[in-house]
Amino acid sequence: MAEDIRLMKGNEAIAEAAIRAGCSAYFGYPITPQNELTAYMARHMLTRKRTFIQAESEVSAINMVYGASAAGARSMTSSSSPGVSLKQEGISYICGADLPAVIVNVARSGPGLGGISPGQADYFQSTRGGGHGDYYHLVLAPKSVQEAADLTYEAFDLADEWRMPAMILADGLIGQMMEGVVLPADRDLAKLPKRPYAVGHQGETGREINHVSSINLVPLELEASVRARFERYAKMKETLVRFEEVQVEDADLVLVAYGTSARVSLGALQEARKAGLKVGLFRPITLWPFPEKRIAELAGKGKRFLAVEMSMGQMVEDVRLAVNGKAPVDFFGRTGGVIPTEDEVLEAARKILGK
Amino acid sequence: MELAYGHPKSLKPIQTKYCPGCGHGVIHRVIAEVIDELGLQGRSIITNPVGCSIWADLYFDFDSVQPAHGRTPAAATGVKRVLPDHLVICYQGDGDLAAIGTAEIIHAANRGEKFTTIFVNNAIYGMTGGQMAPTTLVGQHATTAPFGRDPIEAGMGYPIRVLEMLATLGGTKYLARGSVNNAANIRKTKQYIKKAFEAQMRGEGFTMVEILSQCPTNWSMDAGESVEWLEKNMIPFYALGEVKNTLEEAAK
Ligand SMILES: Cc1ncc(C[n+]2csc(CCOP(=O)(O)OP(=O)(O)O)c2C)c(N)n1
Ligand code: SF4
Ligand SMILES: [Mg+2]
């Protein structure tokens, strides 16, 4: 039977979706604007006798995730920008050891301590492998409380399937606002995907000894393992890319925006259409892998683009790479925790279209 | 006829990469003997640190998880919470535990995490070539303390007695310091490890055995000299014995 719709904060919906996805170990450290997520996990993981630890730092939290994942748990951590910076060391190790994990960034504005208002300036850090070494990981960007819950739920399966961290890149607005949400069904922990590479229970099964590690001092061997990982990335680019399009087909100008700025851009699009301007919206849902093929296709059809972000322009670089000089790409952004208004975006669109 | 003494099953019968006279190999062997005696080979997991003993996973014949430098207790926390009926050994050097990973060890100990830390104190950074460690003695030479560790003028701080510091924490149940300088101390160290492992399997709380260990290579000595140096300099400062034992009465 389908669940009833409930009114929930984004942070709590993410937490509940994670629990239902079979998250069996959660490690967090307080930081605004994601505190409700950790508090929700404390109450509900402990009630269900699953592992919850308030770690001494984000550094520890991500390394607890590393250990718990290596031992077979669906493990998760959440934080906000400064805390996610601290997790980057651990994320690099998790990628180097090919472990699944779910990492939620309810992003705020930076750099440094910055502010606690919503931001999208962590795009580079999230999509470029924010730690050291040659790696990427999945990055999913929700635009609503419902999508935050759905993507979190799915992130656990994707992380297992691709053996890498799946990051939910939300922002303070998605985390803090309340919307109606229908939650997915509870997963049976006994029926989750098996991890033959995990440690533990070796004596019962008699399997080979498992070593979870990222070290390899032999350059040719290390190169081969990095290359193998990149083959996996190539497959992900073929099969996993996700985006949403609104009135793109007949558009002269396509707004490209994700998360909160996509909500604003949708409003601007509706106003533009009322005024007779042919504006469309392209919303990447997977920030990595980025929907570069589709954007290139649209560029080939003569569209021009306006990237809208809550930053000084980060995703716009991926748009430009995808377009590869075939069409003009403009940018409009607000930063420092300022959310652009529909009017501002509409104004930017008008200027480009000369109307 | 029954074999009374042989190579432990939990340790692979291969030569290690450790330098001649290094304490890590002896410590590995003692750990493996205790695991065999407790019949835990198929249920043991080591978190091997960044340091010379990163190679521990080549030698122990059971599962391993290798975390980032100093994060060993955080990773061991994750492993043990997920597999509470397994023996989890958090193996760490002095740089790993008492410098970069100080926060991790203090909080794992304070939470009473039910794994056992084996803390190999050789008063130096072995793997990176002989830099000063938090446990380097006053006056001891290191590549980064070329005129000897000088706590006052050069502001290099004092050697840290980790067990004594951790003993104040409610989560710690058993803290003992052994040494691998001679057979008698190796035997005692083995008893400490056994007590700690048994306490872990009973789920009592945080247990840790610090082991004073030679690093002849980075102390610029031969194996024999390094044993003497440890006896003359380390043992007087790092007193051997049980620093804290609040295990259930019967186990003491
Ligand atoms: C983040 C990070 N910083 C520094 C290093 C370099 N490093 C490798 S081992 C080590 C020190 C190891 O010393 P110790 O923990 O005492 O172990 P030992 O080799 O003496 O057994 C350092 C600093 C590293 N690998 N990672
Ligand atoms: S450098 Fe020191 S600690 Fe490392 S293997 Fe050699 S003797 Fe052992
Ligand atoms: Mg050392």
Give the DSSP per-residue string, B146-204. Answer: TT---SSSS-------HHHHHTTSTTEEEEEEEE-SSHHHHHHHHHHHHHHHHHHHTT-
Band (pLDDT 50/70/90 cuts) for residue B3 is: confident
**A and B: number of Cβ contacts within 8 A:** 131
Chain A residues whose C-beta is within 8 A of a chain B C-beta are 24-25, 27, 51, 53, 55-57, 59-61, 63-73, 75, 89-90, 93, 97, 199-204, 209-215
Q: Identify the band that residue B85 occupies on the pLDDT scale cut at 50, 70 and 90.
A: very high
- A352 Cβ neighbours under 8 A, 6+ residues apart: A253, A304, A306, A328, A330
Q: What does the pLDDT read at residue A192? A: 98
How near does any CA of chain A get to the CA of B51, in Å?
12
Of the pLDDT bands very low, low, confident and very high (cuts 50, 70, 90), residue B248 is confident
pLDDT beneath 50: ranges in chain A: none
Ligand 1: residue of B125, B136, B219 to mutate (most ligand atoms within 8 A of CB) is B125
Model confidence, pTM: 0.97
Token pair for A70 = 């290596």
Residues written for chain A: 355
What's the whole-number mean pLDDT along residues B63-68? 98
Cα B33 from Cα B194, distance rounded (Å):
9
The verdict on a CB contact (< 8 Å) between A71 and B62 is no
Pocket test for ligand 2, best of B122, B131, B230 (most atoms within 8 A of CB): B122
Confidence class for position B251, pLDDT limits 50, 70, 90: low
The domains spanning A4-239 and A244-353 adopt the same CATH topology: yes
Higher pLDDT, A10 or B1: A10
What is the CB neighbour count within 10 angstroms for residue B158?
12
Locate the DSSP E strands across A160-317: 165-171, 178-181, 211-212, 243-246, 253-256, 279-284, 286-288, 304-309
Q: How far is the CA of B102 from the centre of ligand 1 (A)?
A: 13
Q: CB–CB of A199/B43 below 8 Å?
A: no
The domain ranges of chain A are: 4-239, 244-353
Query: What Cα–Cα distance (Å) separates residue A104 from each residue in A156, A168, B108?
Result: 12, 5, 24
Q: Which of B71, B81, B86 sits opposite A25 (nearest CB)?
A: B81
| Residue B77 with chain A: CB contacts under 8 Å | 53, 60, 64, 67
Distance in angstroms between the alpha carbons of the first and the last residue of chain B: 34
Q: Tell me if B104 sits within 8 A of A63, measured CB to CB.
A: yes
CA distance A51 to chain B (A): 7
Beta strands per DSSP E along chain B: 44-47, 63-65, 87-93, 116-121, 172-179, 206-212, 241-245
Mean pLDDT of the region B160-183 = 98
Q: How confident is the model at residue B250 (pLDDT cuts 50, 70, 90)?
A: low
Name all domains of chain B by residue range, CATH numbers in brackets: 32-251 (3.40.50.970)
pLDDT value for B103: 98
DSSP code of residue B112: T
**Contact (Cβ atoms closer than 8 angstroms) between residue A268 and residue A255:** yes
Q: Given a cut of 80, is residue B160 above it in pLDDT?
A: yes
H or E stretch including B31? helix B23-38
Give the orientation angle of helix A81-96 with respect to helix A58-70, to 10 degrees: 30
Distance B34 CA to ligand 2 centre (A): 23
Q: How many angstroms separate the Cα of B249 from the Cα of each of B114, B168, B197, B212, B245?
A: 18, 20, 16, 27, 10
For ligand 3, the distance from its centroid to the CA atom of residue B55, given in whole angstroms, is 14
Q: Could you say which DSSP state residue B52 is in?
A: G
Bridge partners of A51? Answer: A25
Judge contact between B21 and B70, C-beta under 8 A. Answer: no
The alpha-carbon gap from B229 to the nearest alpha carbon of chain A, in Å, equals 33
Buried b (16+ CB within 10 A) or exposed e, A81-119: bebbbbbbbbbbbbbbbbbbbbbbbbbbbbeeebbbbbb
| Beta strand extents in chain A (DSSP E only) | 6-9, 25-28, 51-54, 75-79, 101-109, 115-118, 138-140, 165-171, 178-181, 211-212, 243-246, 253-256, 279-284, 286-288, 304-309, 329-333
> What's the rounded mean pLDDT across residues B167-196?
98
Q: Which of these, A127, A155, A131, lies nearest to A142 by C-alpha position?
A: A155
Ligand 1 contacts (CB < 6 A) are B 50-53, 69, 93-96, 120, 122, 124-128, 133
| Ligand sitting nearest the alpha carbon of B124 | 3
Residue A144, classed as helix, strand or coil, is coil
DSSP notation for B66-79:
--STT-HHHHHHHH
In A, which residues are within 8 Å of B103 by CB distance?
56-57, 59-60
Nearest atom within ligand 2 for CA of residue B17? 5
Gap between the Cα atoms of A90 and B101, Å rounded: 14
Decide if B95 contacts B52 (C-beta within 8 A). Answer: no
The verdict on a CB contact (< 8 Å) between A70 and B76 is no
> Tell me, which fold does domain A4-239 have in CATH?
Rossmann fold (3.40.50)
Task: Tell me the two tokens of residue A234.
Answer: 């190539």
Contact B78 A66 (CB under 8 A): yes
pLDDT for position A355:
84
CATH of domain A244-353: 3.40.50.920
Quote the ligand 3 centre to B25 CA distance (angstroms): 14
Do residues A353 and A277 make contact, with C-beta atoms less than 8 angstroms apart? Answer: yes
Q: Tell me the shortest Cα–Cα distance from A133 to chain B, in angstroms.
A: 14
Q: pLDDT tens-digit profile of A126-185?
A: 999 999 999 999 999 999 999 999 999 999 999 999 999 999 999 999 999 999 999 999
10 Å Cβ neighbour count for A264? 24
Nearest CA in chain A to B109: A56
Tokens 């024999």 locate to: B224
